[in-house]
Structure 1
Amino acid sequence: MAAADRLELVVVRHGLTAWNRERRYQGQRDIPLLLPEARPDLDRLRDHLAAERFDAIHCSDLTRCRQTLAHVLEGRGGEVETRFDARLRELDFGDYEGKCYAELKELAAYREWIDSRGERAPPNGESAAALRERLAAWLGELLVAAEAGGHRRVLTLTHGGVIRELRRRFEAIDFWAGSVGQAQGRRFVFVHQEGGWRCSSSSAVPAPASATR
């Protein structure tokens, strides 16, 4: 198989959970999808990706991502084996998991964490730098495998904080501008040139009805 020189990496956030609706920090708590309320967004994502075939599939090992992936792949058969990877988990919010803004807003440590754009780790949690480190290791392995295996398109099911960090790295946008909704994500296009991979573009998944970016 010829080595790949172009790769589409489709990275999607899991569907709606009860804690999403309540605006609670989920982090690495294993919260399932809120069904049937999550289903319309899941259906839209599945329909958007229905005609696409993937050479590799990666997924966070948490239940909400596993459930979202199962919905996306419903009726397709086992096209490729899925790799479940704890490095694709959400940021560990430590003591803030299970809590919402109203419960935390008066805490000085919480305000310092917000003002640092995640660079300061929450109490007993994980810093943005630690998240970037594990994502860089995962992505490096993915790109090596893509080049060696001739992969053209890879699907990844993960969390909002992971996508935010990927957008900050490859789109050079502000930390607060990187959010995506449930069952939404980004399509990153990488090209291989001069001995390395470079992200050449990024667009919304599912694509907006009226425009492309």
Structure 2
Amino acid sequence: MATDLTVELVAVRHGITAWNIERRYQGQQDIPLLFPEAEEGLLALREALAEERFDAIYSSDLNRCQQTLAWAQAAKSGVPLTLEPRLRELDFGEYEGKVYDELKDLPHYRAWIDSVGELQIPGGESAAQLRARLDAWLHDLALNAPASGHSKILAVTHGGVIRELRRRFETLHFWDGSVLQAQGRRWQLIYQKNAQGKEEWQCSSSSAVPALVNATP
């Protein structure tokens, strides 16, 4: 297993869809981007990534993420692209396609909200199951990045995925980890042994993508 590996990981959320505007749970439904509503955010993301050079790109295999990647124009010639199902949104099961008012009186939905996503959704996933597939993906990055020379990686994914990555790398509360559509986070990561001798990813810095206008250098 690789140790003392340094990786810059940029994770961005897909652009706006009709279900985002309608505040429906999308989950793993293959909902496309909504135009022209999505265009402003996508163009801002394109500008933010215009001078970036990634060694590898991973994208959720759902259409809205692939569309976002195409608009961002970050996939330069020769950069390997992997469609990665493990970067899909949380599987919302029976909640997919529904809005809050349709669910608010259901006991299992109230219990799920009160658990801060830890309970398994009927017909779907729990937060722990989402974390498990993200852990598996990050483990594979640690294995593959040194051999491939990948030190700067882009991941085009979903809001729930970025929330869980922020909880992991920034130790945020569940409700504080959200990002808007066509925005994301940049993490400087080190893969090394912790105090217990276990190899793991550790974060040395985090920042917004696109960078905040009032951010200090």
Asked if Structure 1 and Structure 2 have the same fold, meaning a TM-score greater than 0.5 normalized by the shorter chain, the answer is yes
1:31 aligns to what?
31
Aligned partners of 1:17 and 1:34 also within 8 Å: yes
**CA RMSD after TM alignment:** 1.7
1:198 aligns to what?
202
Distance 1:116 1:192 in 2: 31
Q: How far did 1:72 drift?
A: 0.8
Aligned partners of 1:54 and 1:79 also within 8 Å: no
Distance 2:79 2:44 in 1: 22
Distance 2:12 2:76 in 1: 20
TM-score by length of 2: 0.92
Q: How far did 1:5 drift?
A: 3.8
Identity %: 61
CA gap 1:212/1:181 in 2 versus in 1, 3 angstroms: farther
Aligned partners of 1:4 and 1:151 also within 8 Å: no
Q: How far did 1:77 drift?
A: 4.2
Distance 1:20 1:200 in 2: 32
Look up the SS of the partner of 2:101 in the other structure: helix
Q: Which runs of 5+ in 1 are unaligned?
A: none
1:12 aligns to what?
12
AA paired with 1:201?
A: S
Look up the SS of the partner of 1:147 in the other structure: helix
Aligned partners of 1:59 and 1:66 also within 8 Å: yes
Aligned partners of 1:4 and 1:147 also within 8 Å: no
Distance 1:146 1:198 in 2: 16
Q: Which runs of 5+ in 2 are unaligned?
A: 194-198
- Output aligned runs, 1:164-203, within 5 Å: 164-193=163-192, 197-203=201-207
Distance 2:78 2:72 in 1: 12
Look up the SS of the partner of 2:178 in the other structure: coil
Distance 1:114 1:27 in 2: 16
Distance 1:146 1:96 in 2: 36
Look up the SS of the partner of 1:12 in the other structure: strand
- Output aligned runs, 1:35-114, within 5 Å: 35-73=35-73, 77-114=76-113
CA gap 1:73/1:149 in 2 versus in 1, 3 angstroms: same
Aligned partners of 1:203 and 1:212 also within 8 Å: no
1:128 aligns to what?
127
Distance 1:101 1:161 in 2: 17
AA paired with 1:35?
A: F
